[in-house]
Amino acid sequence: GENVEQHPSTLSVQEGDSAVIKCTYSDSASNYFPWYKQELGKRPQLIIDIRSNVGEKKDQRIAVTLNKTAKHFSLHITETQPEDSAVYFCAARTNNAGNMLTFGGGTRLMVKP
C-alpha cells in the first residue's frame, strides 16, 4: 500500500518568513495530493490540493508543487503569520482506493511574532 513520509516534524519560523514542508510517497499510481491544516483540538481542514496532471498550484500565500518522477510534493507558505501556526498534514490518494487518503505524520509549524 501507499506510504507517505513528511518532513520536518516541527518547524519554527519568524513571522514574515517562508515555510516549506516536504512529503514523499511510495505508490506511483497515486494521483491526488491534498494538504490539511489542523489547529489544536479541531478538525483537519483542507487548505490546498493538487492532482497528478499539474506541477504547481497557488492560492494566495500558499502553494504546492509536485514532482511525479521523484514522487515528492511540497507545501510552501509565504509571509507567514502567527495564525498559520498549526499542524499540517500531507496526504496521497491511490487511484484504486476509492477516495481513501494516506496521511503523512504531520508537521507542527510555529510562527513566532
Partner 1 sequence: NAGVMQNPRHLVRRRGQEARLRCSPMKGHSHVYWYRQLPEEGLKFMVYLQKENIIDESGMPKERFSAEFPKEGPSILRIQQVVRGDSAAYFCASSPWFQGGEKLFFGSGTQLSVL
Contact between 88 and partner 1 by CB under 8 A: the answer reads no
Residues numbered 14 to 73 that lie near partner 1 (CB under 8 A) are 32, 34, 36, 42-46, 49
The bridge status of strand 10-14 relative to strand 107-112 is: parallel
Residue 77's contacts (CB-CB under 8 Å, 6 or more residues apart) are: 18, 19, 20, 61, 62, 84, 109
Contact between 97 and partner 1 by CB under 8 A: the answer reads yes
SS3 breakdown of the chain: % helix, strand, coil, rounded to 5?
Answer: 5, 60, 40
Closest to partner 1 by CB, 54 vs 100, is 100
Closest to partner 1 by CB, 41 vs 113, is 41
If residue 7 lies in a helix (H) or strand (E), which one and from where to where? strand 4-7
Closest to partner 1 by CB, 68 vs 78, is 68
> Which residues in this chain contact partner 1 in the complex, by CB under 8 A?
1, 6, 32, 34, 36, 42-46, 49, 89, 93, 97-106
